[in-house]
């Protein structure tokens, strides 16, 4: 699209939104303050650099064998850089612990240190990215039986306790050096394939492990812990130790942020309905935005009804500064850079639509019992020219507008990823 076309369409859209009392410039300013955390594991199908020949475990699975998978730290970073160049605004990068820069040496999980992630920090400084972090409690010999922090063997529990404590220190150092609070997420795969008779004991073990982990006090200015539940995983179909109820209770009792993952609940259950509930009892919430099809399949995020509902709930709850948004999906069946760009742009579009919603008028209708009027305005808002606003945002940020980014990714694929 030509610059004059983009500007003309924006000015027309701005005028239309003004009739509803909405300032589009202000909406774009707010969107610019909503960074999205890109997950490094989309680039290499959750392989990591600890053991490139290792097997992905923990009840998660990537499907597909699209050519061009990143094989090294430099390739992962190059692919993320390419994706970032096609996404407007300043985003974050989310790193898992087994993506450390280990220099070809085998460094076990209970031995990792901030030095193993200094090159990530230096790269982020150079690119003006901020980092988030995750402990990696899967794809390891000591998680082979499906238990980590809840394991009945205290030696194995202590191994994972040490790992998570070290990860918290790494996250703290990332936040300190980059001047931005690093979100450190704790998810474990612990569960049982068949019916267990020891539910309480495993959860007691997990609680005690978390208590020991959080005995080490970090600086809240530099990092923030969050704890993530799951309904089930492959090999943990009958029982999950870290259920939603467990982590919700633990988080509220100990004032620790709870992570809501789009794919970690029953298929008819949505996280958009949970955000406001948690915010009444916790200061902040972490989101892992994904797209589950019939289960936690981690499909690429697209602009669907639930994604829009999540964005609307963030805005309607006045929680723009209280909710952290990260993506968590991995699709090996399509171009991986394309997967990043589609997912982030879709999330931004949902957030923009939410920011452009005539919420004052909608609430007036609702408080007056004018339910037809509320419904009608919500429906009309769907076809307002928000796309012209987003195109203008892309142009202002110097990134490709519209579907033209497809050809750019195809060019990168031909020149870079297909030669791997």
What backbone phi and psi angles, to 5 degrees, belong to 9? -65, -40
Q: Are the beta carbons of 107 and 100 closer than 8 angstroms? A: yes
Q: Cα separations (Å) of 109 from 2, 40, 227, 228, 283?
A: 52, 18, 19, 20, 31
Residues 6+ away with beta carbon under 8 Å from 394: 88, 400, 401, 402
Give the active site residues.
187, 228, 230, 261, 264, 288, 296, 298, 328
* φ/ψ bin of 292: left (φ > 0), alpha (ψ from -120 to 50), beta (otherwise): beta
Q: What residues does 165 pair with on adjacent strands?
A: none
Residues 6+ away with beta carbon under 8 Å from 183: 37, 94, 132, 133, 171, 223, 224, 226, 257, 286, 324, 326
Q: Are the beta carbons of 323 and 284 closer than 8 angstroms? A: yes
> How do beta strands 182-186 and 130-134 pair?
parallel
- How many CB atoms neighbour CB 282 within 10 A? 18
**DSSP state, 216?**
S
């Amino acid at each position: 699209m030509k610059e004059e076309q983009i500007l003309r369409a924006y000015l027309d859209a701005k005028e239309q939104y003004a009739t509803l009392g909405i300032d589009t410039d202000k909406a774009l300013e707010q969107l610019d303050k909503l960074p999205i955390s890109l997950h490094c594991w989309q680039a290499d199908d959750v392989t990591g650099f600890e053991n490139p020949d290792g097997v992905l475990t923990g009840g998660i699975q990537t499907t597909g064998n699209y050519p061009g998978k990143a094989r090294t730290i430099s390739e992962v970073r190059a692919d993320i850089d390419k994706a970032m160049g096609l996404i407007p605004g300043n985003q974050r990068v989310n790193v898992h612990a087994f993506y450390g820069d280990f220099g070809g040496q085998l460094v076990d999980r209970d031995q990792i240190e901030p030095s193993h992630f200094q090159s990530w920090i230096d790269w982020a400084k150079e690119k003006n990215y901020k980092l988030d972090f995750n402990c990696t409690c899967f794809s390891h010999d000591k998680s082979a039986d499906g238990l980590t922090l809840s394991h009945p063997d205290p030696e194995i529990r202590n191994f994972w306790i040490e790992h998570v404590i070290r990860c918290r220190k790494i996250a703290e150092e990332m936040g300190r050096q980059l001047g931005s609070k690093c979100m450190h997420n704790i998810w474990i795969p612990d569960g049982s394939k068949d019916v267990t008779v020891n539910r309480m004991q495993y959860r007691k073990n997990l609680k005690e492990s978390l208590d020991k982990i959080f005995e080490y006090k970090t600086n809240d200015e530099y990092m923030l812990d969050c704890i993530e539940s799951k309904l089930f995983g492959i090999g943990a179909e009958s029982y999950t130790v870290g259920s939603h109820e467990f982590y919700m209770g633990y988080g509220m009792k100990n004032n620790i942020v709870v992570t809501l993952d789009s794919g970690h609940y029953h298929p008819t259950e949505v996280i958009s309905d949970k955000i406001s509930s948690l915010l009444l009892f916790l200061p902040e919430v972490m989101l892992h935005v994904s797209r589950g099809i019939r289960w936690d399949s981690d499909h690429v995020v697209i602009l669907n009804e639930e994604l829009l509902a999540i964005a609307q709930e963030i805005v309607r709850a006045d929680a723009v500064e209280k909710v952290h948004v990260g993506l968590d999906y991995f699709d090996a069946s399509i171009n991986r850079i394309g997967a990043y760009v589609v997912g982030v742009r879709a999330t931004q579009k949902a957030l923009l639509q939410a920011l452009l919603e005539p919420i004052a008028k909608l609430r007036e209708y609702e408080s007056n019992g004018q339910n037809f009027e509320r419904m009608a305005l919500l429906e009309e808002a769907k076809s307002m020219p928000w796309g012209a606003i987003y195109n203008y945002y892309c142009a202002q940020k110097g990134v490709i507008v519209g579907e033209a980014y497809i050809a750019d990714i195809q060019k990168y694929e031909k020149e870079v990823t297909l030669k791997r």
